[in-house]
Amino acid sequence: MSSNGKNEKYVGRPVKRTEDPRLIQGLGHYVDDIRLAGELYVAFLRSPYAHARINSINTDAARNASGVVAIFTGSDIEGRVGNVPTAAALEGLKVPKYPVLALGKVFFVGQPVAAVVATSRYAARDAVDHIEVDFEPLDVVVDAEAAAQGGPVIHHDFGDNIAYVHRAGIGDVDAAFASADKIVAQKMHHQRLAPISLEPRGVLASFLPGEQQLTLWTSTQIPHLLRTQVAIMIGLPENKVRVIAPEVGGGFGSKLNVYAEEALLSFISMQLHKPVKWIETRRENMSATIHGRAQSGVAELALKNDGTILGLRYTVTADLGAYHQLLTPAIPTLTGLMLSGCYKIPAISMVCTGVFTNKMATDAYRGAGRPEATYVVERLMDIAAQELGIDPVELRRKNFPTPDEFPFATATGLFYDSGNYQAALDRALAMVDYDKLREIQKSDTAAGRLVGIGVSTYVEICALGPSAAMPAGGWESATVRIEPTGKVTVMTGASPHGQGQETSFAQITADMLGVDLNDVYVIHGDTGIVQYGIGTFGSRATAVGGTAVVYATEKLISKATKIAAHLLTTDEENVTFENGVFSGAPDDKQVTIQQVALAAHLASNLPPDTEPGLSATYFFEPKNFTFPFGAHICIVEVDRDTGDIRIKRYVAVDDCGKVINPLLVEGQVHGGIAQGLGQALFEEVVYDENGQLITGTLMDYAVPKAHQLPRYELDRTETPTDVNPLGVKGVGEAGTIGSTPAIVNAVIDALRPFGVKHIDMPLRPEKIWRVISNQ
């Protein structure tokens, strides 16, 4: 009889989330839901100019406004709060000093200039309007490609606007292009996007002067890394800083950062000895939370007439914005790593020029450099197929590595762990009945309808990553503990914010320990409780963090087995552990894991030299990244009269290795596709020629709505990886990476009658209509 009376495992089943009961009843606690007695509120005066000198700031009237407690400007805190840090380390990288409040000049619209502290939200916001700043506008740099060529310089000390030039790739690309039968080239633009987590950022800082301890509640994906950085910035010992990521309302990379407000609120609380809170408005979120993408470049592919790829070249400009946030310069380097896509390409070269502009920094947004690579490769494949007269599916198939060629070495220096790209593509083709679809398309075209079929096969780099390839450690940690009452506590260094690891990590642990799922409690996001961890980003939480849970649980079982053998008065080798029960004693006696846990805590009957308690911690260092892959097919119909795009079907076959909880995996794919589709069709951050943010509200920035999105038809193939014992690869970004080219390829396919080779995203009806009506 097992301890929980079950033999069925949790892993692999669509277990309903344990997080949900609190969230569907409005009982979760996001930062703004945490209330401390006497808390004060902070509002910011932010730069209305993209580039300006600050001649003076007059805060007198604001200081006298009702409810105002204090006001801080850049000069008030100069030298007392460290600069906003960047973790990216690239050869020759120029790093401008990024003060938490502007000093002397402002460099982008939304940059914090002054902070008002008041007794209420309304009073703080009112007082901002009483601050007088004399701004002297300066020349503005908006266009990254133009800025790389010359013109006004943003950071004078550097002499130009080029932050770095990054070269990637292996092989003789020039020789590949010289020997090619066919070269296709296309200029492509990856527009700037806003991540738009539904919960904006928020910070609550509380300093206790007696204990000299700071607690910082903040909406972050990386509580431990943030603790380290904020401690350095404000000069407190790191072990006196406790960062808590409570319920976090989405991140998508935007909360994988260290922001000015996080350090500044901490500093203000230390000055005032009061809790201080700042909750970002959506307008602030659009202007002063990181953006994503923003690459523009020329991509070229060299092929033989039979479709064999010989080489790929990508010359690209990355619009970094005015300053480096945590990973700003590093994101385009991920593009360079993934330019082989899922194809055998013997020679690859990327030259990326990172350029300063008077805009908010770009940084990691879901996919972070990989969607750009996939888009470039998958668009080139379709353009090449068209120009060579080969079906786009056949061209892809011809260049796939076969399953027995893995681990597969790319000309970008990676080793893809495992893959079966044919299988995923075949499954997707079968789901849409591809050959028949092409026949129907012919008759539709003959009837004057504009129907397009878009295919995208992708591979992505996940489970970030081996520490040698990461700026601040790529491992993850877990502690598993069984309490005296038999309840199991799991502490993960990952920091889930919607992905559902409270459930999936409980599934893993419950299965291994043979206990009921409801007896496992997963704790995350509190540096005062959880051992140091890295956090949640780069589709790493389950592949790296889940693996740490597995190894910690194994360690715990190993200790429990020793104690069980002692309790059963037999040798450890005789003891077996199944469904939560240790057995193997000559007299058939058994003990449960819960009984062992109690014995471990009572500690009066333990084997000699045994440490009391039952707890194990493991730090897992992955030996490689993982490389999930898949095939997405999109079928669209374009309205001739309006240019409107209707998605008729969307099919996605993703392979993320083994699956812990299919419900969660599907959810990740759904959301990812929606964001990729948003980029393909709707979304774009727009700054005008003065560097003014035109898309400053959700009225102007088009986040997709329910009626604009299709029903997704999903399936999976399952190719395990040997990078981790769970065989999981990661799935958080797959949908975003696979979907964008599938949609654009479909629309361009639909517009074939008009001889269109490429249209830059977002494919708004107006652009399509201009193509159709030749205007």
Binders in 483-512 for other proteins, by CB under 8 A = 497-500
Structure tokens, 564: 């069980």
**CA–CA separation, 221 and 275 (whole Å):** 22
Binding part of the chain for other proteins, among 28-36, 563-571, 573-581, 586-594 by CB under 8 A, reads 28-36
DSSP collapsed to 3 states, 139-161: CCCCCHHHHHHCCCCCCHHHCCC
Which CB atom, from 308 or from 708, has the smaller least distance to other proteins? 708
Which CB atom, from 200 or from 762, has the smaller least distance to other proteins? 200
Q: How far is the CB of 703 from other proteins (least distance, A)?
A: 5
Residue 65 near residue 128 (C-beta atoms within 8 A) = no
Burial environment of residue 720 by CB neighbours within 10 A (0 to 12, 13 to 18, 19 or more)? middle
**CA–CA separation, 334 and 539 (whole Å):** 14
Which CB atom, from 496 or from 622, has the smaller least distance to other proteins? 496
Which CB atom, from 55 or from 66, has the smaller least distance to other proteins? 66
Q: How far is the CB of 496 from other proteins (least distance, A)?
A: 9
| From candidates 12, 28, 466, 471, binder to other proteins by CB under 8 A | 28
H or E stretch covering 582 = strand 581-583
**CA–CA separation, 210 and 442 (whole Å):** 77
Structure tokens, 387: 């120009």
Q: How far is the CB of 738 from other proteins (least distance, A)?
A: 13
| From candidates 82, 99, 110, 249, binder to other proteins by CB under 8 A | 249
For residue 774, give every residue at least 6 positions away whose Cβ sits within 8 Å of its Cβ, in sequence order, or none.
754
Interface with other proteins (CB under 8 A), residue total 57
| From candidates 1, 5, 7, 25, binder to other proteins by CB under 8 A | 25
Residue 493 near residue 534 (C-beta atoms within 8 A) = yes
Q: Does 29 bind other proteins (CB under 8 A)?
A: yes
Q: Phi, psi at residue 189, to the nearest 5°? A: -125, 125
Residue 593 near residue 514 (C-beta atoms within 8 A) = yes
**Across the strands, what pairs with 68?**
118
Binding part of the chain for other proteins, among 248-256, 525-533, 635-643, 753-761 by CB under 8 A, reads 248-256
| From candidates 5, 707, 755, 775, binder to other proteins by CB under 8 A | 707
Q: Does 544 bind other proteins (CB under 8 A)?
A: no
Q: Could you write out the DSSP letters of every residue in 157-183?
A: GGSSSEEEEEEE--S-HHHHHHT-SEE
Which CB atom, from 496 or from 691, has the smaller least distance to other proteins? 496
Structure tokens, 767: 């652009």
Q: Does 30 bind other proteins (CB under 8 A)?
A: yes
**CA–CA separation, 214 and 242 (whole Å):** 6
Q: Does 7 bind other proteins (CB under 8 A)?
A: no
Q: Does 438 bind other proteins (CB under 8 A)?
A: no
Which CB atom, from 15 or from 482, has the smaller least distance to other proteins? 15
3-state secondary structure of 1: coil
Q: Does 654 bind other proteins (CB under 8 A)?
A: no
| From candidates 9, 121, 555, 649, binder to other proteins by CB under 8 A | 121
- The residue behind tokens 């990379």 is 253
152 Ramachandran zone, left/alpha/beta (phi>0; psi -120 to 50): beta
Which CB atom, from 156 or from 707, has the smaller least distance to other proteins? 707
- The residue behind tokens 């419900």 is 663
Binders in 668-697 for other proteins, by CB under 8 A = 670-675, 697
| From candidates 156, 436, 623, 705, binder to other proteins by CB under 8 A | 705
**CA–CA separation, 667 and 646 (whole Å):** 23
Residue 369 near residue 179 (C-beta atoms within 8 A) = no
Q: How far is the CB of 25 from other proteins (least distance, A)?
A: 6
Q: Does 712 bind other proteins (CB under 8 A)?
A: yes
| From candidates 199, 378, 417, 684, binder to other proteins by CB under 8 A | 199
Which CB atom, from 71 or from 674, has the smaller least distance to other proteins? 674
DSSP collapsed to 3 states, 492-555: ECCCCCCCCHHHHHHHHHHHHHCCCHHHEEEECCECCCCCCCCCCCCCCHHHHHHHHHHHHHHH
| From candidates 3, 4, 10, 17, binder to other proteins by CB under 8 A | 17
Q: Does 32 bind other proteins (CB under 8 A)?
A: yes
| Nearest CA-CA partner of 543 in 732, 704, 345, 335 | 732
H or E stretch covering 376 = helix 370-388
Which CB atom, from 246 or from 486, has the smaller least distance to other proteins? 246
Binders in 724-743 for other proteins, by CB under 8 A = 735
| From candidates 48, 137, 151, 250, binder to other proteins by CB under 8 A | 250
H or E stretch covering 187 = strand 182-193
Binding part of the chain for other proteins, among 196-204, 380-388, 507-515, 580-588 by CB under 8 A, reads 196-204
Q: How far is the CB of 161 from other proteins (least distance, A)?
A: 32
| From candidates 248, 550, 563, 575, binder to other proteins by CB under 8 A | 248
Q: How far is the CB of 728 from other proteins (least distance, A)?
A: 18
Which CB atom, from 13 or from 757, has the smaller least distance to other proteins? 13
Which CB atom, from 27 or from 603, has the smaller least distance to other proteins? 27
Q: Does 645 bind other proteins (CB under 8 A)?
A: no
Which CB atom, from 280 or from 417, has the smaller least distance to other proteins? 280
Q: Does 281 bind other proteins (CB under 8 A)?
A: yes
The bridge status of strand 476-482 relative to strand 615-620 is antiparallel
Which spans of this chain sit near other proteins (rule: CB under 8 A)?
16-17, 19-21, 23-30, 32-33, 35, 121-122, 196-200, 247-250, 252, 279, 281-283, 497-500, 663-664, 666-667, 670-675, 697-699, 703, 705-707, 709, 711-712, 735
